[in-house]
């Protein structure tokens, strides 16, 4: 089995499920209370878009744990990266499982390449404009998918829960039988159910949990994702007014052509730090390179 292809298939479904579960639309309970008023849902969507845009200015540590089976207590593989925003792209610098550089010289080389890219991303040439335009088109596609889900689901208020002293509003999410998709991706909405939790004070999405209720065919990869596949994400306030993912879990089973695949992954995000747009971020990298140059070489 080509694991790269199966991984792309699962990543494609994740990219669809994420905005599906994010986009709390206006089809709430029949008699809206303040907790279910449409303006609250609109604020959630607006905050989701704002949060994604702010990721362009925050570096973070990504730790990925892969398991052979979803119920395995220990990961079979652990990978760790420093994710650094770089204008139209995100740089991934490999780290050890404990989030440390595995080799100082290789780490320095990665930072030097990042510095050069940030300088390039700060310029205003034709190639830069093309790169930013491509990134913006991809973002617009995700935002359009969020907006499309407004009519695709019905949301039912289920009560409140406490998390760390904050009140969360819990909603059940089911497909809207009156919704008629106009795109191939929109057809997936009918096969997803979930639960989401909204922070009452900020109207930020705090947690989402979704499952595939029927097999989903993905023609783009001539693949199928099986019923029971699962996705979950938790989000916290990582800076005043800034909410971002801290944990994600994917459990996808399916097939590509006639070959089965099984992907079980848990991803942790930590150490969010604002580095700003490329013109600011390059100074962060230069300061770190300077510090590395001042440190004595390992013996």
**Cβ-proximal residues to 106 (8 Å cutoff; 6+ apart), any chain:** none
The answer to the question of residue 79 being in a domain is yes
The answer to the question of residue 75 being in a domain is yes
| Cβ count near 170 (within 10 Å) | 17
The answer to the question of residue 272 being in a domain is yes
β-pair partners for 91: 84
The answer to the question of residue 209 being in a domain is yes
The answer to the question of residue 276 being in a domain is yes
CA–CA separation, 171 and 188 (whole Å): 20
Choose among 253, 244, 251: nearest CA to 266: 251
The helix/strand/coil state of 226 is coil
The pLDDT score that the predictor gives to residue 258 is 77
Rg of the chain over Cα atoms, rounded to whole angstroms, equals: 21
CA–CA separation, 297 and 299 (whole Å): 6
Number of domains in the chain: 1
In which residue ranges of the chain is pLDDT below 50? 1-7, 20-35
The helix/strand/coil state of 139 is helix
The answer to the question of residue 114 being in a domain is yes
The domain of 89 spans 3-294
The pLDDT score that the predictor gives to residue 39 is 66
The answer to the question of residue 299 being in a domain is no
CA–CA separation, 246 and 237 (whole Å): 9
CA–CA separation, 236 and 248 (whole Å): 12
* Model confidence pLDDT, tens digit, residues 153-198: 888 899 999 999 999 999 998 888 888 877 777 778 888 898 989 9
* Model confidence pLDDT, tens digit, residues 58-78: 999 999 999 988 888 899 999
**Cβ-proximal residues to 258 (8 Å cutoff; 6+ apart), any chain:** none
The pLDDT score that the predictor gives to residue 1 is 38
The answer to the question of residue 227 being in a domain is yes
């Amino acid at each position: 089995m080509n694991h790269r292809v199966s991984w792309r298939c699962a990543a494609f479904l994740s990219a669809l499920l994420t905005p599906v579960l994010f986009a709390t639309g206006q089809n709430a309970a029949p008699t809206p209370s303040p907790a279910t008023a449409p303006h609250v849902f609109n604020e959630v969507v607006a905050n989701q878009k704002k949060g994604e845009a702010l990721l362009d200015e925050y570096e973070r540590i990504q730790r990925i744990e892969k398991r052979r089976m979803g119920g395995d207590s220990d990961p079979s593989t652990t990978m760790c990266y420093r994710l650094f925003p770089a204008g139209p792209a995100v740089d991934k610098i490999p780290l050890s499982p404990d989030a440390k550089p595995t080799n100082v010289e290789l780490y320095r080389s990665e930072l030097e390449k990042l510095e050069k890219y940030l300088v390039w991303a700060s310029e205003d040439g034709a190639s830069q404009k093309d790169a930013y335009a491509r990134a913006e088109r991809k973002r617009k596609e995700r935002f359009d998918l969020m907006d499309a889900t407004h009519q695709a689901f019905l949301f039912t208020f289920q009560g409140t829960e406490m998390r760390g002293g904050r009140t969360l509003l819990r909603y059940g999410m089911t497909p809207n039988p009156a919704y008629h998709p106009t795109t191939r991706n929109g057809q997936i909405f009918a096969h997803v159910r979930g639960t989401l939790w909204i922070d009452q004070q900020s109207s930020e999405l705090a947690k989402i949990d979704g499952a595939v209720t029927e097999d989903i065919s993905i023609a783009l990869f001539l693949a199928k994702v099986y019923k029971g596949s699962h996705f979950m994400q938790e989000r916290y306030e990582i800076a005043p007014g800034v909410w971002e993912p801290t944990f994600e879990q994917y459990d996808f089973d399916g097939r590509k052509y006639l070959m089965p695949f099984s992907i079980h992954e848990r991803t942790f995000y930590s150490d969010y730090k604002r580095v700003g747009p490329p013109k600011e971020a390059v100074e962060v990298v230069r300061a770190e390179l300077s510090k590395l140059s001042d440190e004595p070489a390992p013996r």
